[in-house]
């Protein structure tokens, strides 16, 4: 189990502001699981329109944050890093449930576990929590594809 600061995270994800949604990896075990975090601040660009009078993080961005954590876990499992030759894509999202809104000021804890990998498609169980309470859960499927 190891941790990763933002400088290490940037080596594994191609995302940059405003779409980088993982601030730190708290722990991970290659081939098994990862726990990461996203600090949700009022400075996020989506809060200007979602919603100005009641700032709520869009659910699709919570799911994207979970997928970014899954990408880091997969690359660490494969002993690989981000490259210009491939992109890690979503290929499926099942059973997404939003239990509670995520607000400006929350610290979103992202928990992703590998369920299986078949023919280059990885399946994960994923949960996001705030203050120890489940806010989102989903099954994610992702794969790497060549872009060249």
Active centre residues (catalytic): 50
- Yes or no: say if 66 and 110 are a contact pair by the CB < 8 Å rule: yes
**CA 28 to CA 89: how far, in whole Å?**
21
Q: Cα 145–114–148 angle (5° rounding)?
A: 10
Please report where in the chains the tokens 């940059």 appear, as a residue: 16
Nearest to 1 by CA among 69, 76, 99, 85: 76
């Amino acid at each position: 189990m190891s941790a990763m600061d933002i400088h290490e995270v940037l080596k594994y994800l191609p995302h940059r502001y405003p779409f980088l949604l993982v601030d730190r990896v708290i722990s991970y075990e290659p081939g098994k699981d990862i726990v990461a975090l996203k600090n949700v601040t009022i400075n996020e660009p989506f809060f200007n329109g979602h919603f100005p009078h009641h700032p709520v993080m869009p659910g699709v961005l919570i799911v994207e944050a979970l997928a970014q954590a899954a990408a880091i876990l997969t690359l660490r499992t494969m002993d690989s890093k981000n490259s210009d030759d491939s992109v890690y894509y979503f290929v499926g999202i099942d059973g997404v449930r939003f239990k509670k809104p995520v607000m400006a000021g929350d610290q979103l804890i992202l928990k992703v576990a590998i369920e299986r990998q078949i023919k280059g498609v990885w399946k994960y169980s994923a949960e996001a929590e705030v203050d120890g309470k489940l806010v989102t859960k989903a099954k994610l499927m992702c794969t790497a594809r060549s872009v060249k």
